[in-house]
Structure 1
Amino acid sequence: MNTRYRALSSAIFAVLAMGTAYAEDAPATAPATAADAAPAASQKSQDQKSQALDTVQVTATKRSTSLQKTPVAVSALSADTLQKERINNVADITKLVPGFAATTEGDHGVITLTLRGIGNDSAKTEYADPEVALFVDGVYTPRAEAAAGLLLDLESVEVLRGPQGTLWGRNSTVGAVNFQTAKPELGPFYGYAQFEAGDYSHLGMRAAVNVPVSDTFAFRVAIAQEQHDGYVDFQNPIGQLPSVASQQAAYITSGGTLATFKPIDPNLYVTKGQKYNSQDQSAARISTLWTPSDKLTWNLSFEYFRDRGTPNANLMQQPRAGQDFWSALVDTAPQLDRNSYALRSRVDYAINDGMELSYIAGFSKFNGSSDYDQDGGVQVPTSFASGANFQDDRTNDSRYKSSSHELDLKSTGDNTIDWILGLYYASEDNSIRFDIPIFNGTSQGTVGWQGSFIQPKETVDSYAGFGQMTWHLSDSLRLTGGARWTHDEKENDGGRNYGWAYDATVPQVPISTGTQPGPTSGFAVSAKNDGKYSSSKPTWLLRADMDLSSNALLYGSVSTGYKSGGLQDGGVPYKGESILNYEAGIKLTFLDHHLTWNTAVYHEDFKNFQLSAPITFVDGSHGLGFSNVEGTTKVTGIESELAAVLSDADRLNVVVSVIPQKKLGTLIYAGSNDYGGLPACAPASGIGNCLNVSGNDLAHAPDTSFSVIYEHKFSLSNGGALTPRFSGHYETASWLSPFNLGNGDQQGSYFRGDLMMRYTPADEKWWAGVYVNNFTDVKVRTNAGRTALGNNQFIYTSQYLAPRTFGMNFGVSF
């Protein structure tokens, strides 16, 4: 047995030993007489009941089960937690879940997710699929843009860690996030409204109302609006641009002539208007519930999301002298214009007392555009055509349509064998046009390179059948086996990449949204992307779980996951990736459910792990390239969650993740245009510049991270309560890319904390509070890139989490 497996085995046995030693509560001291015992025990029971943790129900096994009795590594976040932590999108959740990380990708304005060290920063286009799957009420949402949407009127969030390929299906290679929306209820009429205001002109509003119409029908309406000004100020080019004489000299030195010289126009730079890193998002949902009989339930919802904010800017890690950190020299105004629509349906029919049929369907439509200053203004031009780059990454138009259908038949009630069978089909029909003009100096300079990527029709069809069975061998021991077969088909029909042809007879101007690329506009086809991809893959699960006592659940599993391959630029296919996951865990409940402690130890072996990045090919053309990491990418870790009611007034939550091993397999030719100055690649690679990343650490996988949430309730004489709340997150250093290039490509260890204070009156019908987010005002990088200056000198840029913000909020229920 090698060192890694000895270490993993030792960790597992340590966890088991702790569970066996501490799961049983110590016996209480016997009372003096039996007569004294009864009232004392009764009072103690009532006191403990009032203090105990709420019983959390989860749907990780596609059944409603208690979190502490579910043999899966799953984090469950209640609506109360989401509200108190001011959770707006998926990225805000990461601090509450062990091993979970989110990165922002500015040029597409999306959020990409990493779990247990596995993720893909470039899984942000119409090509790539995520490793962490997102579901809303069990309906899969395939595109990365969904992660940037507002979380609206949720009942709970469940984050399932580890491969979920058997029951949850598509692209849940390392985990899945399932958002459970608040459903209509029969009977009561009620609702709530929340308001918020803060610095950066922040305004927020959320409201929902439940309306019963009859004994069998109810509906619920929810709305939300979140907005704030951008965090990034515009730098004034005046004072930074060189003198006209210096510009002229630099232009002539670069090969220009006096006849063609012109001074830099400072009006090319953006100095007013909507700033980068702003928010302007709205969402609305109407949900209905119909129960025409005791056997039939139908939940139907329609949701709309609108985004008119701006992407996150690329900021210089070390700003120029005299410039603020939260500022940029901008020559492309930020823009986002997005709309998405989703229809979700779930029908449950009880066939008899022991069997239920469910049909879950979803339809979604997304359209949007964006504009982004990719160069980040890191260099001040020496002339209108030298000394800097102008790069505008622009999504002219993106349109994504998807649908999914799932039919489940499962056992209900108490059985020796619990089982579920299912059929699944999902489809996508996507199109996009993405333009990238890159100019020397300024947008009025000469063409460095520019291209247009037009994909009129990219389709996905995914078919699956699955089943899972749990055999109750005894009251305390269970065995579970599951399997899924998936078949994926992908096709690119008519996709073309156009690159600048350097035709001297064509004026050198940035391509506009109305330009049709072709010979008359100076472009030539650099790649034909037509192609088809087809693949099938079985995945499976074997698990045993045992009740060590009424307060301790032990489980161990071996499972596999799969993410399909696809097509990259040029119509070239890349392979699907697969994972083999070994896991053991224990869930402990102490002190009459006043404390829970859940721990999991895991080891993951990845085959054909997918990495993607924008690259330059040996012929000078640009495109999005995918690489499969050869050999085995290995990840080993331990994660733990503790929740405790320390007293009537004190609550504590602790989340810990340790990932000592997270090594890539073999990838000799890894390229990325986001990292200038990579060495020249061997011609056989097909890539212009690349680096050998074999054996490097995975990105966004710190050795250790932990979060602590603590609140104390001060009871006031008027019956109200004042509750301060502390939420802190600490991480050791982590890489921001698989290149592992040094300090600029790394987020150092950091602590980031939030403070909240809430007043609640005696009747608890309203509340008011104040908050400070990121009170440490730490600058946390979520990605990195670099510009090469020559002589092995580089300027590193990153996108960052928000700076310190503060505000007040108010809520009322009725």
Structure 2
Amino acid sequence: MKQAALLSRALRFSSFSSFSSFSPLSPVSAACLVLAALTALPALAQQNEAQAREARARGAKGDEAPTLPAVTVQARQVREKVQELPFTVNVLDEAQLEERRLTSLEDVLRGTPGVEVNSWGGVENANVRIRGVGSLYQGSSDDNSVIVNIDGAPVSVGNVGPGTLDVEQVEVLKGPQGTLFGRNSTAGAINIRTRKPQLGRWEGSARGEAGSSRQHLAEGVLNAPLGQQAAARLALRHSGQDYWYRNTLTGRPVSRPRDEALRASLLWQPQAATEVLLRASHHESGRYQNALRLRHGTGRYSDQELTSAHPLDGNFTRTGLYTLQVQHDFSGAQLTSVTSHERNKGFNINMTGREMMRLYMGVDMDMPQVLGYKGDSWNQDLRLSSRLGSRVFWVAGANALRRDSRNLDGRSFSVDADALYGETTWPVGASGLSLTAGLRHTRERKHYQSTQSTPAGVASGSVRERYTTGRAGLGWALSPQTRVYLTWARGHKSGGFSGSDFSDGAGDGSYYRPGRVDSVEAGLKHESADGRLRLDAALFHNRIKDDRMAAFNPATRLTRMVNVDTRSQGLEAQAHWRLGAGLTASGGLTWLRARIASGDVTTPIGVVRNGYRLPDVPRLSALLGLQWQRQLTAFWGLRSPALNARLTLRHVGRRAANVENSFDLGSYRKLDLRVGVSSGAVEVYLWADNLLNARYDLYGYYMGGGLQGGMSARGRSAGVGAVYFF
């Protein structure tokens, strides 16, 4: 059997080490950290008052700030005010990430209206769609529609690594972003900006959390000056949990996943106009699996019935990202060079339990799926741009990419790409009108080789592509507070070779065609004169030619990629409103209609008909948040205590589970709460996730013959945390 061959090959794949040496911080240790902070709270509250006031200004004393803070982004590689952009951007700052407990990129994306994530139980294979645009199923690790940029370095969604560790801001850019971000950004892009070292300042923080199901987190950040022209910053995080589903043969959780992450940064500023910034990050996770559990028609899931008590102990994923950024400011321009190197490696045994195999194949045994990979990539970006506040926005640059990857089953892939790009927004006289135009021309070369033993021999393939993407738009400032815009964008998604370990034709170099997206967006951005209300709204329409879908064959348990056309259109709105008395309301919603627009396509498990709904895309998704911040009367010896409470409600509507529309995943509402009290340099908080205990579907999969699989989310959980700023 193919699985047996892969298991045998895995034993010889010596470069993939076991995760058994992973030594986590125990929940007891995390709890002790929190209890120690609680015990020391009155004493610590007297220390470092000046630094604490500055730290807390990012969060707990919002009643002293009656207006919303100004928001600047780097959505076009240059700092700009978010209100001036000709497309929609969802922005999450450091305080929001912390208070909503968004510790991973998957958490951020699931909490953004209009963004859908099918992670198959593991983020390394996450398939992300924005406004219904994105692969129906991924054909390979290179088949992405959403690119992630971490401090200017492009990475795939599955290789984000430290996630939101010591992050200053996350920007979710909606609509094709191929002009400036290049390949694999047909649906949008995600900009992650980490905090850089601060010159001349000793500062940092320490955080601990402990909660139900052995959830625990320990995190530390330190900023240290190195003379007058240099500084260093180090951030560390460890977290862990029990899986929320059990092995029925042992009565215990199937696994206890763990994560460790670090980021080190070094800043050198030889003169005021020049800075050199070196960053290195590492992330290691273990004991996860891309799980397929038995789903019943009511939406209830069975636990897994596994023969081994610890089948996932050897599973691991490692990611390293190294970035060198050199920037120099001229009187009217800014020159930036970003060089990045990414390395990733992983080995996973994903278990299908006996309860599923009895129904699926008629055998009383569990089934492992063995997956392994390693990859290496280099990226160089050089650009010249305008500076913040310039009357005319412009940027021009060149980019080069080299990526190599190898799978456990004997297949290797390589990508070489280079591009020239530029974009400008030009004001037209004093009328308030502005024109936006951008172009990017890319050359790509892809090569594929397979040395699988079945079928015998070596298969290979190569392909070359040249394509041009761009954006054009018209903006109009109706008043100093209100702008409207109309933007058209063209996106391109490269063709390629199937990279799935269980794809039909994986050894014969099967090629799927490139895709194209044409998107139109009309929007309005308004900020009230008193700075208390910010409102954005947009209408959009997307036409996708030759998107990808995976046709699953239950008889062979393999998939083959098929190209289909799709359409999506809808409206979005988001608002932030400082109500007064310490209350701030925020929210957003997306109404979306996304359909198949090709002729009928027959697959082994059904027919994909013209007009069918796109999988995982709800008609309505919405987010509502309410924050209350106020000063409290002194108690327990605390000086100037402050309350910071945040309630967040997310609604996701009913959506199709697969492209054949075989069954639906139900709608759900997820309610989260965080209540904290800060005094001086310390904050102690209680948190509760999924207060309504919604056991919603993370994804669904149709196996044929009425058999459904998938994964449910974690139910209600709660805990306590503490953070100390110094």
| TM-score band, normalised by shorter chain | 0.7 to 0.9
What CA distance in whole angstroms lies between the structure 1 residues aligned with 2:120 and 2:517? Answer: 26
In structure 2, the partner of 1:408 is 383
In structure 1, the partner of 2:657 is 736
In structure 1, the partner of 2:627 is 711
Aligned to 2:118, what secondary structure does the other structure show?
strand
Confirm or deny that 1:293 pairs with 2:271.
Answer: yes
In structure 1, the partner of 2:515 is 577
8 Å CA contact 2:481–2:529 kept in 1: the answer is no
8 Å CA contact 1:135–1:178 kept in 2: the answer is yes
What CA distance in whole angstroms lies between the structure 2 residues aligned with 1:625 and 1:379? Answer: 22
Confirm or deny that 1:275 pairs with 2:254.
Answer: yes
Deviation (angstroms), 1:297: 1.0
Specify which of 330, 351, 355 is matched with residue 306 of structure 2.
330
What CA distance in whole angstroms lies between the structure 2 residues aligned with 1:609 and 1:121? Answer: 7
In structure 2, the partner of 1:627 is 562
8 Å CA contact 1:319–1:325 kept in 2: the answer is no
8 Å CA contact 1:98–1:640 kept in 2: the answer is no
CA distance change for structure 1 residues 109 and 421 in 2, over 3 Å: closer, same or farther?
A: closer
CA distance change for structure 1 residues 612 and 487 in 2, over 3 Å: closer, same or farther?
A: farther
Deviation (angstroms), 1:108: 8.1
What CA distance in whole angstroms lies between the structure 1 residues aligned with 2:488 and 2:359? Answer: 57
What CA distance in whole angstroms lies between the structure 1 residues aligned with 2:257 and 2:302? Answer: 16
In structure 1, the partner of 2:229 is 216
Q: Which moved more, 1:222-231 or 1:324-333?
A: 324-333
Confirm or deny that 1:525 pairs with 2:443.
Answer: no
Confirm or deny that 1:775 pairs with 2:691.
Answer: yes
In structure 2, the partner of 1:644 is 577
Deviations 1:356-406 (A, max 9, x none): 211111101111100011356325489xx95456432111x3111111111
CA distance change for structure 1 residues 481 and 644 in 2, over 3 Å: closer, same or farther?
A: same
Alignment of 1:279-678 (within 5 A): 279-318=257-296, 325=301, 327-331=303-307, 333-335=311-313, 336-350=315-329, 352-374=330-352, 377-380=355-358, 386-388=362-364, 390-395=366-371, 397-412=372-387, 417-433=392-408, 453-455=409-411, 457-475=412-430, 476-493=432-449, 495-498=450-453, 524-525=454-455, 528-568=458-498, 569=506, 570-590=508-528, 592-612=530-550, 615=553, 623-629=558-564, 632-659=565-592, 661-666=593-598, 668-669=600-601, 671=603, 678=604
Deviation (angstroms), 1:134: 1.0
Structure 1 gaps of 5+ residues are 1-46, 237-270, 434-452, 499-523, 672-677, 680-689
CA distance change for structure 1 residues 219 and 121 in 2, over 3 Å: closer, same or farther?
A: farther
Q: Which moved more, 1:63-72 or 1:484-493?
A: 63-72
8 Å CA contact 1:759–1:767 kept in 2: the answer is yes
CA distance change for structure 1 residues 356 and 198 in 2, over 3 Å: closer, same or farther?
A: same
What CA distance in whole angstroms lies between the structure 2 residues aligned with 1:695 and 1:341? Answer: 43
What CA distance in whole angstroms lies between the structure 2 residues aligned with 1:581 and 1:376? Answer: 46
Deviations 1:119-158 (A, max 9, x none): 33642744x421111111111103x422575321100000
Aligned to 1:82, what secondary structure does the other structure show?
helix
In structure 2, the partner of 1:698 is 614
What CA distance in whole angstroms lies between the structure 2 residues aligned with 1:50 and 1:628? Answer: 52
CA distance change for structure 1 residues 387 and 655 in 2, over 3 Å: closer, same or farther?
A: same
Deviation (angstroms), 1:291: 0.9
Deviation (angstroms), 1:303: 0.6
Match for 1:666: what amino acid? S
In structure 2, the partner of 1:198 is 211
Deviations 1:766-796 (A, max 9, x none): 10111110111111112212344xxx5x231
Deviations 1:740-777 (A, max 9, x none): 11xxx32212111111111112x3x1101111101111
Specify which of 133, 142, 147 is matched with residue 118 of structure 1.
133
What CA distance in whole angstroms lies between the structure 1 residues aligned with 2:486 and 2:337? Answer: 31
Alignment of 1:29-178 (within 5 A): 50-106=65-121, 110-120=125-135, 122-123=137-138, 125-126=140-141, 128-142=142-156, 144-147=157-160, 150-178=163-191
Deviations 1:224-265 (A, max 9, x none): 0110112111113xxxxxxxxxxxxxxxxxxxxxxxxxxxxx
CA distance change for structure 1 residues 805 and 121 in 2, over 3 Å: closer, same or farther?
A: farther
Q: Which has the larger radius of gyration?
A: 1
CA distance change for structure 1 residues 466 and 298 in 2, over 3 Å: closer, same or farther?
A: same
What CA distance in whole angstroms lies between the structure 2 residues aligned with 1:217 and 1:134? Answer: 28
Deviation (angstroms), 1:691: 2.6
Aligned to 2:65, what secondary structure does the other structure show?
helix
Match for 1:484: what amino acid? R
CA distance change for structure 1 residues 378 and 622 in 2, over 3 Å: closer, same or farther?
A: closer
What CA distance in whole angstroms lies between the structure 1 residues aligned with 2:557 and 2:293? Answer: 24
8 Å CA contact 2:246–2:253 kept in 1: the answer is no
Structure 2 gaps of 5+ residues are 1-61, 499-505, 635-639
CA distance change for structure 1 residues 650 and 326 in 2, over 3 Å: closer, same or farther?
A: farther
Q: Which moved more, 1:661-670 or 1:164-173?
A: 661-670
8 Å CA contact 1:533–1:567 kept in 2: the answer is no
Deviations 1:282-301 (A, max 9, x none): 00110011111223211110
What CA distance in whole angstroms lies between the structure 2 residues aligned with 1:393 and 1:148? Answer: 24
Matched residue count: 648
What CA distance in whole angstroms lies between the structure 2 residues aligned with 1:482 and 1:783? Answer: 37
8 Å CA contact 1:314–1:376 kept in 2: the answer is no
CA distance change for structure 1 residues 470 and 488 in 2, over 3 Å: closer, same or farther?
A: same
8 Å CA contact 1:75–1:159 kept in 2: the answer is yes
Deviation (angstroms), 1:592: 0.8
Deviation (angstroms), 1:529: 3.8
Confirm or deny that 1:751 pairs with 2:669.
Answer: yes
What CA distance in whole angstroms lies between the structure 1 residues aligned with 2:602 and 2:272? Answer: 58
Deviations 1:695-726 (A, max 9, x none): 21111211111111102234321131223321
Q: CA RMSD in A?
A: 2.5
Match for 2:462: what amino acid? K
8 Å CA contact 1:602–1:637 kept in 2: the answer is yes
Alignment of 1:252-263 (within 5 A): none
What CA distance in whole angstroms lies between the structure 2 residues aligned with 1:189 and 1:159? Answer: 32
Aligned to 2:326, what secondary structure does the other structure show?
strand
CA distance change for structure 1 residues 69 and 357 in 2, over 3 Å: closer, same or farther?
A: same
Deviation (angstroms), 1:612: 3.0
Please give the TM-score of this superposition, normalised by the length of structure 1.
0.76
In structure 2, the partner of 1:801 is 713
CA distance change for structure 1 residues 368 and 482 in 2, over 3 Å: closer, same or farther?
A: same
The structure showing larger relative contact order (alpha-carbon pairs under 8 Å, at least 6 residues apart) is 2
8 Å CA contact 2:106–2:123 kept in 1: the answer is no
What CA distance in whole angstroms lies between the structure 1 residues aligned with 2:568 and 2:712? Answer: 26
CA distance change for structure 1 residues 593 and 318 in 2, over 3 Å: closer, same or farther?
A: same
8 Å CA contact 1:199–1:806 kept in 2: the answer is yes
In structure 1, the partner of 2:3 is none
